[in-house]
Amino acid sequence: MMTFHPKILAPVAVAGLLASAALAHDHQAGTLSIQHPWARETAPGQAVGGGFLAIVNAGASEDRLLSGTSPVAAEVQLHTMMMDGGVMRMRQVTGGIAIPANGAVELKPGGFHIMFMGLKRPLRQGERFPVTLRFQRAGNVTVQFAVQPVGSTGPMKGGHDSH
Amino acid sequence: MTATEPDPVEPFEEAQGGSPKWIIWLAVLFVGALIAVAVMNHGKGGGAADGDYARAFGGPFTLTAPDGATVTEKTLAGRPYAIFFGFTRCPDVCPTSLARMARLRKQLGPQAMKFNIVFVSVDPGHDKPADLGNYVALFGTPIIGLTGTDAQLEQIKKGYGVYSAKVPQPGGDYTIDHTVAIYLMTAKGEFSGTIDFQESDATALEKLKRLIA
């Protein structure tokens, strides 16, 4: 059987995320800091888009990202993917994504991501669009996703393309 | 193929109590050894593709381009090509691979257009030819986006040894599991090698240079 392991960041990576929290484009919600939400641009007619972000939990209790909504999509889903002997496998995450106490989780290419299903319009490079994330403890938090070039592999910082 | 690896199946029973990952890794090593042997044999050919190796992947296919035109292996003949398989809902591997091929092509400078980039959608249920055309246009370099009927896709998947399968999802929709390797084919449609998803740009660029040399 295939299993998907939540990717818990090492403490050093958490420190890095905390350090970068001062950069623009972050959202604070209670003990959660939601950092650099970004999505890939999509083509006309493309029904699905992917989004990524990092969540740092400075609190003493675990929280859990459960779901989301957005005016740009019929449905917002949580997915994960893994490489399995040269085969890419993507799966919907149904039980939410845990954000450990005093820890962090990163939704990034190659792992957890948000899928915008049933896009009502293409996501255009350079724009931002709102997404309301639903957390078990922190409740609903609305963040702005920045739309980046389709070939992006991480969030752009300060307007610079990170390839 | 002249591999004389010891049969790795023997110790499996003893390993049952341990991690099944061990088995997967052994299989990966075994396949890797087979490829290494194939590549070495290829090298001995002094540039002329060794028959078995050249025919290891590829072969005839019939697919549809975004403008509705029929594309076969004969349409692509005359120029080397890098071909891979995916779908437009693919979260990461497909856009990353396409963007990478576009980036590597740029690095080839004046040689950039000496090979074609071909992206085959194995998700005809979601990706219509015209949609695929819009999708590949995002990458800023000419990419041939192809798809076909289930039977046509079965033919090319079999030829290239590509695995893909529909996997139902909780909401009633489905996703696609698929092989991510990029197959490098010569102007004659012969197999020249692969680019792996995890391989460095530098290595991939060398392979492309050899392909178009």
Q: Which of B51, B125, B103, B49 is nearest to B80 (CA)?
A: B49
Q: Are strands B182-185 and A103-107 parallel, antiparallel or unpaired?
A: unpaired
Residue B94 belongs to some domain of the structure? yes
| Average pLDDT over chain B, rounded to an integer | 85
Whether residues B25 and B106 fall in one domain: no
Whether residues B44 and B115 fall in one domain: no
Residue in A150, A152, A162 to test binding to B, most B beta-carbons within 10 Å: A150
- Please answer yes or no on whether A85 and B88 come within 8 Å at the CB atom: no
CB-nearest to A110 from B92, B130, B175 is B92
B27 touches chain A (CB under 8 A): yes
Confidence check: pLDDT of B109 > 90: yes
Q: What is the pLDDT of residue A20?
A: 47
Confidence check: pLDDT of B133 > 80: yes
The residue segments making up the domain with residue B32 are 10-52
Whether residues B61 and B40 fall in one domain: no
- Please answer yes or no on whether A150 and B95 come within 8 Å at the CB atom: yes
Residue B175 belongs to some domain of the structure? yes
Whether residues B85 and B34 fall in one domain: no
What's the pLDDT tens digit per position in A97-139? 999 999 999 999 989 999 999 999 999 999 999 999 999 999 9
Residue B66 belongs to some domain of the structure? yes
Whether residues B74 and B146 fall in one domain: yes
Share of chain B above pLDDT 70, in %: 77
Place of tokens 């257009």: B113
Q: For chains A and B, what is the number of CB pairs under 8 angstroms?
A: 98
Whether residues B151 and B196 fall in one domain: yes
Share of chain A above pLDDT 90, in %: 74
Q: What is the pLDDT of residue B207?
A: 97
- Domains held by chain B: number: 2
Confidence check: pLDDT of B94 > 70: yes
Instruction: For residue B196, give the CATH number of its domain.
Output: 3.40.30.10
Q: Are strands A26-29 and A128-135 parallel, antiparallel or unpaired?
A: unpaired
Q: Which of B196, B201, B212, B198 is nearest to B39 (CA)?
A: B196
Q: What is the pLDDT of residue B162?
A: 97
Predicted TM-score (pTM) of this structure = 0.79
Residue B155 belongs to some domain of the structure? yes
Interface of B with A in 2-21 (CB under 8 A): none
User: What is the predicted ipTM?
Assistant: 0.79
Whether residues B151 and B205 fall in one domain: yes
Residue B177 belongs to some domain of the structure? yes
Radius of gyration of chain B (CA): 18
Q: What is the pLDDT of residue B38?
A: 53
How would you label A93-111 residue by residue, b for 16+ Cβ within 10 Å and e otherwise? beebbbbbeebbbbbbbbb
Confidence check: pLDDT of B43 > 70: no
CB–CB of A66/A134 below 8 Å? yes
Residue B1 belongs to some domain of the structure? no
Residue B202 belongs to some domain of the structure? yes
- Burial degree of B105 (CB within 10 A; 0-12, 13-18, 19+): buried
Taking CA atoms, what residue in A is nearest to B101? A151
Distance from CA of B30 to the nearest CA of A (A): 12
Largest CA distance in chain B: 57
Q: What is the set of domains in chain A, with CATH numbers?
A: 11-148 (2.60.40.1890)
Whether residues B135 and B196 fall in one domain: yes
Residue B91 belongs to some domain of the structure? yes
Alpha-carbon B54 to chain mean position: 15
CB-nearest to B91 from A43, A115, A152 is A115
Whether residues B123 and B195 fall in one domain: yes
A119 touches chain B (CB under 8 A): no
Q: What is the pLDDT of residue B51?
A: 83
CB–CB of A55/A35 below 8 Å? yes
Considering only CB atoms, which chain A residues are within 8 Å of B100?
A: 151
Whether residues B168 and B68 fall in one domain: yes
Q: With a cut of 50, which residues of chain A have pLDDT below it? A: 1-12, 19-24, 159-163
B183 touches chain A (CB under 8 A): no
Mean pLDDT of B38-52: 54
Confidence check: pLDDT of B18 > 50: no
More confident residue, B197 or B19: B197
Q: Are strands B174-179 and B62-64 parallel, antiparallel or unpaired?
A: unpaired
- Please answer yes or no on whether A150 and B170 come within 8 Å at the CB atom: no
Confidence check: pLDDT of B45 > 70: no
Q: What is the pLDDT of residue B23?
A: 61
Whether residues B27 and B131 fall in one domain: no
Whether residues B164 and B85 fall in one domain: yes
- Please answer yes or no on whether B90 and A90 come within 8 Å at the CB atom: yes
First to last CA, chain B: 26
Mean pLDDT of B103-117: 96
Considering only CB atoms, which chain B residues are within 8 Å of A85?
A: 24, 27-28
